[in-house]
Amino acid sequence: MSRFSLEGKKALVTGANTGIGQAIAVSLAAAGAQVVCGGRRSCDETIGKIHDAGGAASALIIDFADPMAGRDVFTGAGYDILVNNAGIIRREDSVDFSETDWDDVMDVNAKALFFTCQAFAKEALAQDRQGKIVNIASLLSFQGGIRVPSYTASKHAVAGLTKLLANEWAARGINVNAIAPGYIATNNTEALRADEARNQAILERIPAGRWGDPEDIADTAVFLSAPASDYVHGAVINVDGGWLAR
């Protein structure tokens, strides 16, 4: 069997209803995984894409506005892979940024991610089974950005937690890694791409000379979920067309 095969594996992908999360779910299924598509809204479109391609998928309605929403998801469920993709963002000048916008973003992007990882690991360790965790970080895990203080703080936290959890769990059979996407062509970035001046400025900064496709992130997630990455622990892989190298 290929070292990139996910045959016989069961995965949860959060935020799988659209964009990067949808692409990851589809690619994991194409590699052979049984994929549970988690989201606070319907993932029917994603599940349809997987079924149309002959894959196995089901839905889980889960809202990480409650950071502990994942606490009981894994018990007895046989998961091998967790992809923490769900996230939110709020924009405002830092001098005007509200406590509510700070707490809402940190709850979903950092607190929920940690406690979902914890719940997954508790079950994997109790069952003495190998596990793979893939967290979705950001270029703002490394850079500051502007007008997104809680998002920047949360994505720095994702990078740090990925390394910390890898340190604790690597020797116990759980790989914890992260992907830091660059500028990806999804519905979330449609406005940026439609702004001619902003789009040109972004493209001029990207050595690859193009926006990324969701599949660029998805295929990296397959690698980090597969046996091919068994010796990869605590990595934050930039999939950004060279943006951070510029």
Helix or strand or coil: residue 224?
A: helix
* CA gap 116, 23 in Å, rounded: 21
Nearest Cα residue to 109 out of 159, 75, 145, 146: 159
- Gyration radius of the chain's alpha carbons: 17
Contact, 63 vs 40, CB < 8 A? yes
DSSP state of 76: T
Which of 79, 151, 183, 231 is labelled catalytic?
151
Cα–Cα dist 159/107, whole Å: 16
Is 231 one of the annotated active-site residues of the chain?
no
Burial zone of 141 (CB within 10 Å; 0-12 exposed, 13-18 middle, 19+ buried): buried
- The sign of the torsion formed by the CA atoms of 2, 50, 159, 169 equals negative
Residue type, 132: K
Residues acting as catalytic residues: 151
